[in-house]
Amino acid sequence: MNRVRIGRIVGTHGLRGALKIVPLTDYPERFHSMEKMSVYGAEGQPVTTLTLLSSRYSDHKKLLVIQTEELRRIEDAAPLSGAFIEILPEERYPLGEGEYWIEDLKGLSAVRHEDGAPLGKVVDVATAGENDIYVIRDDSGNDHYIPAVKQFVAEVNLEKREMRILLIEGLWESCM
């Protein structure tokens, strides 16, 4: 079962076993309403499930500090550093029109909008400034970087597993 990473434990806070978590979500406030938190290792193996007692978000540091029922001492919490907080896909927040989860975009076939000619596969989405960048790998193994804007992305069809790209002259070649 595919799970979605929403946070990474980066250390402890204080002596009473609180965890410092970097949110890997656009919705860090979701942690405030969670009752349980599933912890997984880097390779995706389940580690533990924790019961949340309190959480607070530091906008300045971009960190969550979470106290759990099970972790009461720094020695209990320290071994979890580097682990991930994961949820089931159906637990994700709903998105607006034209918004997509990165996990849903990865693996889409990228085709030229005009004629459906294959360009490659979407292998990643990079966040850079105001707009995301779609990383498309062609059959030769070369990566091309397409800005995630309507001028270049004509259509995303998750049911067909396809992204239609509008290529302007020089865009595809300049992206290598």
At 123 the pLDDT is 95
Which tokens sit at 82? 């580097």
DSSP notation for 8-63:
EEEEEETTTTEEEEEE-SS-GGGGGG-SEEEEE-TTS-EEEEEEEEEEEEETTTTE
pLDDT band with cut points at 50, 70 and 90 for residue 1 = low
- pLDDT tens-place string over residues 24-79: 888 888 999 999 999 999 888 999 999 999 999 887 788 999 999 999 999 999 99
pLDDT band with cut points at 50, 70 and 90 for residue 170 = low
- pLDDT tens-place string over residues 72-121: 999 999 999 999 999 998 888 888 888 888 888 999 999 999 999 999 99
Distance CA 88, CA 2 (A): 7
Which domains occur in the chain, in start order?
Answer: 4-91 (2.40.30.60), 102-174 (2.30.30.240)
pLDDT band with cut points at 50, 70 and 90 for residue 2 = confident
Q: What are phi and psi of 17, to 5 degrees?
A: 80, 15
Whether the Cβ atoms of residue 146 and residue 160 lie closer than 8 Å to each other: no
Give the residue ranges of DSSP H helices in 15-149.
Answer: 74-77, 102-105
Q: What is the pTM of this model?
A: 0.68
At 143 the pLDDT is 92
Q: Count CA within 13 A, CB hemisphere, residue 37.
A: 30
At 85 the pLDDT is 96
Q: How far is CA 96 from CA 53, 93, 101, 129, 147, in A?
A: 31, 10, 11, 20, 19
Over the range 55-69, which residues count as b (16 or more CB within 10 Å of their CB) and which as e?
Answer: bebeeeeebbbbbbe
